[in-house]
Amino acid sequence: MSSAAVGRADPRTEARHAALRSPLPAQEAQLAVDTQWLRRRAQLFATAAERPFTLMFDLAKYSQITGIQFHDHYVAQVYRGEYGARLAVPLMAVNLRRVRTREDADRVLAHETMHLKVPSAGHKVAAFAAAQRLLDLVGALA
């Protein structure tokens, strides 16, 4: 889940994020995440959203590229570039220490991809409805 400020996310945002339903079977949902699985899954989200992005796990490099400090409590964040100088392919950074299971990863990927698909929606109910639609599309693609 991204955090625009150093503080924690709004409780409503956290509840909406937690309510996202992964299409993974229960046994698979609880498996640990590895980078190869996460990269393949991220590609499904990019396809579902019709919005490519570069997935990054090197948080120091992400901060160096973007100029944005990635705090330890951040789970993930997308960077589209500065207003007026948007990147052709946005960046998505994921903190692997905060994403334990594949179900967690699905929620994070849906949440952050939603920010790329409907950036003006913020963390409103409609934004998380879009995130759930992405999860459902990924389930159909997998």
Grouped pLDDT means (10 residues each) for the chain, 142 residues: 55 95 97 97 98 98 96 95 95 97 98 95 94 97 88
Give the residues across from 79 on adjacent strands.
91
Q: Are 133 and 21 in contact (CB under 8 A)?
A: no
Residue 97 CB coordination number (10 Å): 9
